[in-house]
Structures are given as structure tokens and as C-alpha cells.
Amino acid sequence: MLKGQRASRRQEQGAVSIPAAPVRDYLPFLREQAAAIYRAATQKRPWLLWELHNPWSRSASVADSWKFLELCQSEELLEQIAPFIGEDIILFDSQFSPGAGDAGQAESSWRNDRLRCPARPLQGLVVRIPLADADADAADANAKFICRPDQSAEQAIECGPGNIICHSMDLDYRVVAGTEYPAQAPGQSLNQPPQKPLEYVIRYFPATSLYVRDPATKLHRQLTERYPLLNYARMPLWLVRGEDKAGNDFAAGFQPRAGRWIGPQISG
């Protein structure tokens, strides 16, 4: 449950911006990792952008997942988001979000993350860390996060390098580029991601909610239809702060296949 003046402000406004001080030391790392994954010589695949904090994910083949995990569970960051989500916090998802050139056209559709948090009751929190360097990425530094707390009002927050944006899973939002970008770079096919991401996105939910593991539920069928390359039913969970109060399954997703001999067995 959201607590305190900060939580009250988030409920009224839909999203809040907090200083980037807790993650400032990680920004060079995030930019380096984004550049490595999006390097022109690298064949870009969607799964290289997802589950970046998970050392057992496919993205771990190109990303320093342990460092991402260190950021996601850093005490400085958790201290800042606890007023929004409570003292008992579970980490379950993170990704690089596409650059403003892909997601930020003025006519881009509204979206939300409610489907991406299969926990009940739904009380998740999204933390967005802009990657723009104010000196090198003037266009992305001027990008804006637009949200709609209700159907009659919109709120705009700067996606600059000096802030972190926090909002609930069910908030409708879009990202608007600081300048007009072409939807796709010349020679880039429609199914390729843009040349660089705009932000690193982390998703948490309170440990008072239960993560749904049954893949046969309607929720997971919808998730599979929307994100066929991700298995949310088996996604591993990290209790990063406090206590688990809902009986969550923390074993799933951490079982790499056990090694075995491939030659003839030797009987003793």
C-alpha cells in the first residue's frame, strides 16, 4: 500500500519525479551496456533487452546482469521508492525501453504496464531511469513522459538525466520525443528496435501481493499472446526488501538444468 505524502502525490498526479541521486553512479554503466547491446555490429534481438537483471536470462549472454541486479536491489534506490510501494518489495522485471524515435511520436498510442505484472492484488510500481546524457543526447534529454491519471487530464514530466520517474502499473502513458525523429532509420526494417534505448525500466510489486504462477490462467494466456518470447509464469522473483507476506514462490526460474555425464555410466 502506498504511504506518506509522496505516495499521496503519486496517487493524485499519476506519476512523480524523484532525484536521480540513488542511481547516478550507475548511469555510465547503463549507457555503456545500452551501447554494447545496440552496437551496429550486433544482431539485435528483442530478448536481449529484457530481464537484464536476471543472470539466468538470455540477455545475460551480452549484459552484465549481476551489475543490473545490484542496481535494482541497491538500498539507496529502495529507500526512495519504499514510500510509494511499502517496506516489503519484490523485484520481478526490468528492460531497456526503446528510444524516443520508436515510441515517442506525438501520435503514438497510449499504453500501460498492468498486464506485465501478474500479481494479485495489482499494486506494482514502475521505475524509469532516463539514460540521456544532457551534453551528448540533447534530443532525448528533452523527451517527456506523458501520463493520464484520469480521462480528463494529462501530466508531463521531463525524461531528463537528473530524475527518476515512478508510477503505478495501471497508469496510461506515452513518451514524446524531444525533437521529431523518423519512425525508422534508413535501411532499418520495421521489426528492428531503434538505435538506442531511452530509459532503463524496473518493475516491482509489494510482497503483500501474490505472483500468479499458473500458466493456464487467462492472465498468462494474454501475456503469452502479447509477449510470446517471455515466460512470465516462470519469471524469477527477488525479495529485495522486507518480508514476503503472501506466500510467493521464489524457487521458480532459478533452476538451471543440472549437469550430467554424457558417456557410459560407471557403476561402483
C-alpha cell at 140: 532525448
Residues 141-153: pLDDT tens digits?
Answer: 667 888 988 777 8
Task: Kindly tell me if the per-residue pLDDT of 41 is higher than 60.
Answer: no
Task: Kindly tell me if the per-residue pLDDT of 67 is higher than 90.
Answer: yes
d(CA 82, CA 96): 23
pLDDT at res. 69: 97
**Beta strand spans in 106-191 (E):** 119-120, 125-130, 144-150, 153-158, 163-168, 172-176
Ranked by mean pLDDT, the top range of 97-106, 117-126, 195-204 is: 117-126
Task: Kindly tell me if the per-residue pLDDT of 245 is higher than 90.
Answer: yes
- Topology of domain 4-241, per CATH? Jelly Rolls (2.60.120)
Task: Kindly tell me if the per-residue pLDDT of 101 is higher than 90.
Answer: no
pLDDT at res. 103: 42
Specify whether the CB–CB gap between 93 and 55 falls below 8 A.
no
Verdict on whether the full-model pTM lies above 0.85 = no
pLDDT at res. 244: 97
**Could you tell me the residue ranges of all domains in the chain?**
4-241
Task: Kindly tell me if the per-residue pLDDT of 163 is higher than 60.
Answer: yes
